[in-house]
Amino acid sequence: MIFHIHVYAIADKYDIPALQALAANKLAKLCDKDYDEDVFSDAIEAVYNCTRQEDQTLRKVVIMGVRRNYPMLERESKAFRALKLELPKFTNDLIDALHASAGITVVCHNCGEPFGINLAKKKEGSCVYCGRYDPDWSKYTYTEYPNG
């Protein structure tokens, strides 16, 4: 895993997009297999330390890898638990990804603020910003964030 991340970073530096794509693809395949939790945790750290923040490619790849196997990582890997404290950008990306999968973003028809709600569980609720209650928020889906 680390090897592909370094290849990606070097290819980025020397502007070789074809090699970047190849390295990203190889990493994605490894993240989709039964990886070793500690090796994977090192890979997450390498992605966040070796790639530019504006480039989300590998970050998305490892976040997908986390989502596949979160309970196992949390239980088996001390390195993974440490990462969540040491890499706030990673933790932030992870929360965004988990939120997107857990719920859907709706826009309040009263104050216009977007907020997350899990419509699969319940459609009713109050806006977290202005408190406006609605019995069915599914009518106010924010389409910029298609979840599913």
Give the 3-state secondary structure percentages of the chain, helix then strand then coil, rounded to 5.
60, 10, 30
- Of 86, 130, 136, 139, the one binding Zn ion (CB under 5 A) is 130
Q: Is 126 helix (H, G, I), strand (E, B) or coil?
A: strand
Which DSSP symbol is given to 114? Answer: E
Least separation in angstroms between residue 118's CB and Zn ion is 17
| Cα–Cα distance list, 44 to 21, 84, 112 (Å) | 18, 10, 36
- Of 44, 62, 106, 127, the one binding Zn ion (CB under 5 A) is 127
117 binds Zn ion (CB under 5 A): no
Nearest to Zn ion of 79, 114 (CB atom): 114
128 binds Zn ion (CB under 5 A): no
Nearest to Zn ion of 21, 111 (CB atom): 111
Nearest to Zn ion of 102, 111 (CB atom): 111
Could you give the CA distance from residue 52 to residue 79 in angstroms, rounded to a whole number? 22
Least separation in angstroms between residue 120's CB and Zn ion is 21
Indicate the helix (H) or strand (E) that contains 133.
Answer: strand 133-134
Q: Which residues bind Zn ion (CB under 5 A)?
A: 108, 110-111, 127, 129-130, 132
